[in-house]
Structure 1
Amino acid sequence: MSRRVLLIAYHYPPLRGSSGIQRALRFSQYLTEFGWEPIVLTAHPRAYPDKSDDLMVDVPPGVIVERAFALDTSRHLSLAGRYPRAFALPDRWVTWWLGAVPAGMRLIKRYQPAAIWSTYPIATAHKIGATLQARTGLPWIADFRDPMAQDGYPEDPTVWNAFKQLEMRAFKQCRFATFTSPGAIQTYRETYPDLPGNKLVLLENGYDEEVFARAAGQPVTPADKGGRRILLHSGIVYSMERDPTQLFMALGQLKRAGEPLISQLLIRLRATGNDARLQEMAAREGITDLIELAPPIPYADALSEMLNTDGLLVLQGASCNGQIPAKAYEYLRARRPILALTDPVGDTADVIRRAGINTIAPLDNVDAIKAALRQFMSLLVADQAPYASEAAIQAASRRGRTEQFARLLDAATQVS
């Protein structure tokens, strides 16, 4: 007989614009295969900055989804762009806690779940998880994915302190804390050396084979009419963690030097969430003809584009060495050449290198990027750019990750 688990996740359909949706969505989709029945506690869609129904089809019909009261403080509670600090600690969705705690207690009373799971990077999710755990005594798995209170992040000291207090509370109350990269676990082992060794668990992101199968049948996004090779970055381009300044400078220098391979390149930045700044940067470097800023598209269409592009671009700064973008696993599954602009000693580079891809250069080094672009384009034109190994692809399926999660739930609920 299946046991139940309460999944607390802000990132859930119909939210659009975050690859983090896939983690909670696929857990809710596959857990029943491994002996666990999910109950989802998420935010009311009014709290989402952008919505799309394209992933609603993947929410299993039998899964209970409770959409609790929630507001986005910056949009709903501000006056002339200002709002009280207390309305945005630990984040702008703290009002979700007000709605989710009573909703969660009702769900727990009615459905008697055996465990609670909450997932960051919306810190309020852990605030909800911690409150429900304290009130019920149920075992709680706190899914951090990436580190919370880091050196220099969040920049605001008041927000950083709120993150730190919540982080410490989570480690005190949770049965397990899960992370998506070895570097994140190492960071927390050093920060909290007294934590039990088995409390911090690696649970990586992945890709969903069924959605890729659907994507393979989608119409192909038209190629650039100029016949150039398209290098695609799909997803948000953060101003700090994925800052493409050095990449744009490298492209500008190569163009001015008359590098022939660069004239054959078009970098498509899809759904950046930062188009105005990137357009300005491209104009400043004189490379607007090399950069295409493309709008968001439905998820299956985005995967189809990955499957049919010439190459895929990873952007990940050294400040995120202990993090691996969820998109990286989808890139591997797409079986397309990858140019990874990331710190060669970071976890993202390690995943890509272990997949058999060596076209890697640091995101903050103009000369290294220029050399990497020359190498990558030469390999691409010669049809010799490396793809991910089949072993690496098979190891990263979301169904497999869900089985790992189910076994962790088994361990969390064992009576000692």
Structure 2
Amino acid sequence: MKKVLIITYYWPPSGGISVLRALKIAKYLREFGWEPVIFTAENAHYPYYDESGFVDIPEGITVIKHPIIEPFKVFKWLTGRKKEDALNSIVQVRDKKQNFLDKLGIWVRGNFFIPDARSLWIKPSVKYLKKHLKENPVDAIFSDGPPHTNNRIAYFLSKELGIPWLADFQDPWTQADYYQMMYITKTAHKIHSKMEQGVFQQAKKITIASPTWKKDLESIGAKNVDVIYYGYDEDDFKDLVKNQEGEYFDIVHIGLLGIDRNPVGLVEILSKIKSDRKIRVILAGQVDQQVKKELGGNKNVEVVYKGIISRKESLQLAMEAHLLLLPLNKANNAEGRLPGKLYEYLRTYNPILCLGKSNGDAAKIINKCKIGSSFEYEDIKGIRNFIEDLIQKPNSINVDKKEIETYSNKKQTQKISNYLNEIHEQ
């Protein structure tokens, strides 16, 4: 069986959505003729921890770990955060009003830690892996970014050892929405861009998470680019139960809810809907403090904050929802934004309300799967009519389950294996 080295910073016990890309690919690769070899960080500082991911690691798989130095402890101390606080992107989700030290931290991160805060891991990892791979050869490399530190490690290995490389992008690099929020100077931008172009030139294959972002990457020089969706894993839904009984009509959102996805006016819309059932909004995950302030301004609609809960609890909550909320980033590249939660929403077969670009990639997938509707944030009438119709006719949505199956992790991994075969045979 051919071997592929998967370079990924995120690996169990990491929680959150970012770990699932490489983990689910590794889970199913053997079925398509490739043996995954994992390279990941030892003593990594993950935003969330979730032990449930260990169940997906294939039996007998080789996992190589190498120490990493990360600046997050210093940043937390500098900004007055507690040691145990989850630290996600502070440009998107803020637990307090952004102050000078927060802005300074963002500026330092964007201009001195290039390509990202894990950059100190690059040189020691390349040195270690060059020796390891000479003694334990592989047939291809797969790297998954962000963090794009993963792609930098793969770049050097592929260039110096001549191993064919597939570079995967969960999010873009210089075209990412949060990249624009990081106070990056012209000098730092040139360095970021040069590194990004290096990936385009060295990688034999590039994959990215959405069709629009594929076109965006091609517009700045990337070649041989294809789409690999996040997908969902059927195994994650085996023990979940759909129970939608009760006095409430529950609208559920799981995951980060940042200032860039603030569903302004949603609670006010809900308060004007006439219904025999009480309407409740349930939010699981980190929520920006400004978003909380605006959502809590109406006494007629109950808003429940679950905080950070386990992945299994999140999926169960989504299964019980009468409506799943999917607000997209208000950003220049929002047309291509396909959050990982979208595919898990699809698999619940529950209706989805998407807020964002009505002609974006998410809207197209939702329409194709016949599972909901998408509206611009400002379309108050459309949003209200959609929710009212759903409350009155809860079984009116006829989901295309066969179409949803095309987004499974297994199907996406089969595509990855085909690309690995292509670059190995070149």
Equivalent-residue separation in structure 2 for 1:275 and 1:140 (angstroms) = 38
Structure 1 vs Structure 2: percent identity of aligned residues?
Answer: 25
Find the counterpart in structure 2 of residue 53 from structure 1. 51
* 1:279 corresponds to which of 273, 283, 292: 292
**Deviation at residue 359 of structure 1 after TM alignment:** 2.0
- Structure 1 pair 382–57 and aligned structure 2 pair: CA distance change class (3 A): same
**Deviation at residue 324 of structure 1 after TM alignment:** 1.0
| Equivalent runs, 1:22-171 vs 2, <5 Å | 22-76=20-74, 80-81=78-79, 88-150=113-175, 153-155=179-181, 156-158=183-185, 160-171=189-200
**Deviation at residue 212 of structure 1 after TM alignment:** 1.3
Find the counterpart in structure 2 of residue 185 from structure 1. 214
**Deviation at residue 27 of structure 1 after TM alignment:** 1.0
Normalised to the residue count of structure 1, the TM-score between the two structures is: 0.86
Note if 1:260 corresponds to 2:274: yes
1:22-73 Cα shifts (integer Å, max 9, x gaps): 1111111111111100011112243213222121122123111122212331
Q: Across the two proteins, how many residue pairs are aligned to each other?
A: 393
Find the counterpart in structure 2 of residue 21 from structure 1. 19
Find the counterpart in structure 1 of residue 283 from structure 2. 269
- Structure 1 pair 376–79 and aligned structure 2 pair: CA distance change class (3 A): closer
Find the counterpart in structure 2 of residue 382 from structure 1. 393
**Deviation at residue 305 of structure 1 after TM alignment:** 2.0
1:136-185 Cα shifts (integer Å, max 9, x gaps): 11111110133221286333224544432221110011001101211011
Find the counterpart in structure 2 of residue 301 from structure 1. 313
The alignment partner of 1:321 has SS state of: helix
The alignment partner of 2:305 has SS state of: strand
Equivalent-residue separation in structure 2 for 1:324 and 1:317 (angstroms) = 10
Residue type at the aligned position of 1:383: P
Find the counterpart in structure 2 of residue 316 from structure 1. 328
Equivalent-residue separation in structure 1 for 2:143 and 2:284 (angstroms) = 29
Equivalent-residue separation in structure 1 for 2:270 and 2:346 (angstroms) = 28
- Structure 1 pair 323–9 and aligned structure 2 pair: CA distance change class (3 A): same
Give the root-mean-square deviation of aligned CA atoms.
2.5
Normalised to the residue count of structure 2, the TM-score between the two structures is: 0.85
1:220-256 Cα shifts (integer Å, max 9, x gaps): 79987xx21111111111322x232x2xx2422553x
The alignment partner of 1:109 has SS state of: helix
Unpaired segments ≥5 residues, structure 2: 80-103
Residue type at the aligned position of 1:170: V
Residue type at the aligned position of 2:52: D
Equivalent-residue separation in structure 2 for 1:162 and 1:323 (angstroms) = 25
Equivalent-residue separation in structure 1 for 2:339 and 2:197 (angstroms) = 25
* 1:238 corresponds to which of 243, 252, 258: 258
Equivalent-residue separation in structure 1 for 2:393 and 2:210 (angstroms) = 34
The alignment partner of 1:170 has SS state of: helix
- Structure 1 pair 160–289 and aligned structure 2 pair: CA distance change class (3 A): farther
The alignment partner of 1:359 has SS state of: strand
Equivalent-residue separation in structure 1 for 2:302 and 2:191 (angstroms) = 42
Equivalent-residue separation in structure 1 for 2:218 and 2:78 (angstroms) = 43
